[in-house]
A and B are shown apart, each in its own frame.
Chain A
Amino acid sequence: MELKTMTYIVVGLTFAVYIGIAIWSRASTTGEFYVAGKGVHPVANGMATAADWMSAASFISMAGLIAFLGYGGSVFLMGWTGGYVLLAMLLAPYLRKFGKFTVPEFVGERYYSQTARIVAVICLIVASITYVIGQMKGIGVAFSRFMEVDFATGLFVGMGIVFIYAVLGGMKGITYTQIAQYVVLIFAYTIPAIFISLQLTGNPIPQLGLGSEMADGTYLLDKLDQIVTDLGFREYTTSPNGNMLNMFLYTLSLMIGTAGLPHVIIRFFTVPKVRDARYSAGWALVFIAILYTTAPAVGAMARLNLTNTIQTGEVGSPTGNLVAAERPDWMERWETTGLLGYEDKNGDGRIQYYNDADADFAKKAEAWGWQGNEMTKVDRDIMVLANPEIASLPNWVIALVAAGGIAAALSTAAGLLLAISSAISHDLLKGVFAPQISEKNELLASRIAMAFAIIVAGWLGLNPPGFAAQVVALAFGLAASSIFPVLMMGIFDKRANSAGAIAGMLAGLSSTLLYIFWFKGWFFVPGTEMLANKPENWLLGISPEAFGAVGALINFGVAYIVSHSTEPPPEHIQHLVEDIRVPRGAGASVAH
């Protein structure tokens, strides 16, 4: 069957399953499931959390970034998993004990201040919108590929579907739909990885295949190091992501950000007990780790296959490169999306793909008649989707990967949009500005907020400030610098008061935003950056994606100093803090 037809069928089938489950579980549990989570086992909740949390960045973008960054890509792997350790030990059980509906609601009550609540809403919206931009980039890539149109058209179609999906709403709250999405997503990710690992190393487990020998007896990673350095690129297994300080802070930003993201935190409000909140975080990480330990294998093997596809023979020999006219179908298909580009600079009818930014190597290449890297565009976000095509896997596998990418992007985008709209309608309107608002108007306000967020994110997604995973990394930095510190101080420091929390959030958020906008352009508008976004200009070599950890430190510092130099919080707040530290007396979980 033709690939395009196959893709439509597989994507259509998965959608039918999600909708079917949504209708079925709605009908069978009426009313009861609004008393949320009562019957939701920590394992099921963990799986749903994993689906909610693993986005286009994890599914589509991350392995592609690892493929080109090598060891430097480890920041995403450690950062996006290690955050669950912080979440399980520092936040989840206590927030569950507190038992409120949204994150700003906790901030408002713990710091006995509407101002604190409003500031928390602002932090939440800034971080979430940035996150949605990253999803939009991923959605654009997935839709442009499978409909075989250019990126912008794919993005517009994707925006429309996200809107319908998110406005139908109910989808999100239903744990079983998310479990189905997790299943689709994890099969779509691991099946091609298993095939490719088998092809290359004979070992079906990608995690082991990555450390195994290839048919010629050399270890896969050694082979990869060799073929990329032969073409002037940096050694795969040792090339860092900026300097050591940058790697350190980048990882820390992603970890703290994971623990500070509102749409992840609220999942722990719905588990039946405090002890379940602890185990739930563990189960979520188990399901996430299945994808995250596979990703490095996907990245490395994609890089190996891509390089071997183009460099078919000895480097530098006149017949060592792929003849352009005979290039595989997948290259031509991706060229129509505009995300892959090729230009025959030296007019020899063959494709040379090498690192022409390395002056020494470029000189050497010139002697072979190479006149610059001819793969003029290789968008890293296409690697996971293109990977099964590069490895010539059967069409149904390619179609499955497209369905998985779309599931990942849709589930997270919908979750984030709901977090944004509930912050506006529930926290801002109902909670602060218009307590008398009718339920109907509250719902209307939340839909308008959602539509507005999609348009803003989609528009910025047309000119994203980076690859999907990098944009998402910025969102984590913002969450790290603004939300995590106040939540943690609220539990671990009885002395933390409203003035400290407000000053801390504002200092953390504004310093991080300033640093990001300085190098990425004001509000991410291209051309408005104050300094070119390159390592020489960065403060101590810290990239904008890594700055969230610094922002978090500023937040902690300011909050601590201001809290301890002003009036302590009132007596009843200190009792409240003591109370959330012990599990006993946790009420039934709140309705979601």
Chain B
Amino acid sequence: MITKDNRAAYWKDNLRLVLICLAIWFVVSYLFGILLVDPLNSIRLGGYKLGFWFAQQGSIYVFVVLIFFYARQMNKLDQKYDVHED
């Protein structure tokens, strides 16, 4: 049986996790790839300018890692609050 308190606590933890993930999502794309692209471009990563690299490569790699991280953490939360399927 899922209690009301349990439900609320689960939802709160879930929102916290989503916020953390979306903060990282924002930083690698909008911040590094767009807003701070000029200063970052003065740093080089091999033949890449760093800001350009985040915009065309780095942000995408981070997105992939983020989703798997989120899915893993959510599975743990599901177990912890006993709201998982089956």
Contact = CB atoms under 8 A, between A and B. Distances in A.
Contact of A211 (B35, B47, B63, B78): B47
A275 B30 contact: no
B49 A237 contact: yes
Given A74-B33, A74-B56, A296-B56, A581 B7 contact: yes
A274 B78 CA distance: 11
Q: Which of B25, B34, B56, B84 has its CB near the most chain A CB atoms (within 10 A)?
A: B56
Interface in A242-296: 244, 247-248, 251-252, 273-275, 278-279, 281-282, 285-286, 289, 292-293, 296
B22 interface: yes
A77 B53 CA distance: 11
B66 A85 contact: yes
B26 to A, nearest CB: 9
Interface in A57-95: 66, 71, 73-74, 77-78, 81-82, 84-85, 88-90, 93
Interface in A173-214: 207, 210-213
A interface majority secondary structure: helix
Contact of B64 (A213, A220, A286): A286
B45 to A, nearest CB: 7
B39 interface: no
Given A210-B47, A578-B7, A238 B52 contact: yes
B52 A71 contact: yes
Contacts of A66: 56
A282 B29 contact: no
Contacts of B57: 207, 210, 293, 296
A289 B21 contact: no
B56 A77 contact: yes
Interface residues of B, number: 43
A213 B48 CA distance: 11
Q: Which of A71, A207, A212, A238 has its CB near the most chain B CB atoms (within 10 A)?
A: A71
A526 B52 CA distance: 36
Given A244-B35, A282-B67, A282-B71, A238 B41 contact: yes
A6 to B, nearest CB: 33
B interface majority secondary structure: helix
Given A248-B30, A275-B74, A584 B2 contact: yes
Contacts of A220: 47
Given A211-B47, A237-B41, A289-B64, A582 B83 contact: yes
A583 B7 contact: no
Contacts of A77: 55-56, 59-60
Given A85-B22, A237-B41, A583-B85, A78 B59 contact: yes
A222 interface: yes
A85 B30 CA distance: 14
A212 B34 contact: no
Interface in A8-30: none
Q: Which of A286, A293, A582, A586 has its CB near the most chain B CB atoms (within 10 A)?
A: A582
Contacts of B74: 93, 275, 278
A219 B60 contact: no
Contacts of B84: 275, 583-584
Interface residues of A, number: 50
B59 A221 contact: no
A89 B78 contact: no
B83 A285 contact: no
A278 B63 contact: no
Nearest to A207: B57
A248 B47 contact: no
Q: Which of A85, A275, A292 has its CB near the most chain B CB atoms (within 10 A)?
A: A85
A211 B74 CA distance: 36
A207 B33 CA distance: 17
B64 A285 contact: yes
Contact of B33 (A78, A219, A292): A78
A303 B55 CA distance: 19
A586 B83 CA distance: 11
Contacts of A93: 74
A461 B63 CA distance: 33
A78 B85 contact: no
Nearest to B59: A78
A586 B85 contact: yes
Contacts of B41: 237-238
A582 B2 contact: yes
A582 B29 contact: no
B57 to A, nearest CB: 6
B43 interface: no
A583 B7 CA distance: 11
A584 B22 CA distance: 25
A74 B51 CA distance: 11
A293 B64 CA distance: 12
A221 B48 CA distance: 7
Contact of A237 (B2, B52, B60, B64): B52
A210 B48 contact: yes
A106 B40 CA distance: 43
Interface string A212-240: 11000001111000000000000001100
A222 B83 contact: no
B33 to A, nearest CB: 6
Interface of A: 66, 71, 73-74, 77-78, 81-82, 84-85, 88-90, 93, 207, 210-213, 219-222, 237-238, 244, 247-248, 251-252, 273-275, 278-279, 281-282, 285-286, 289, 292-293, 296, 578, 581-586
15 contacts: A74-B34, A74-B52, A85-B66, A89-B67, A212-B47, A237-B52, A238-B41, A251-B30, A275-B71, A278-B70, A279-B71, A285-B63, A296-B57, A581-B7, A586-B85
Given A81-B59, A289-B60, 6 more contacts: A74-B55, A85-B66, A88-B71, A289-B64, A292-B60, A293-B57
What 6 A-B pairs come out closest when comparing CB atoms? A219-B47, A74-B55, A282-B67, A278-B71, A211-B47, A296-B56
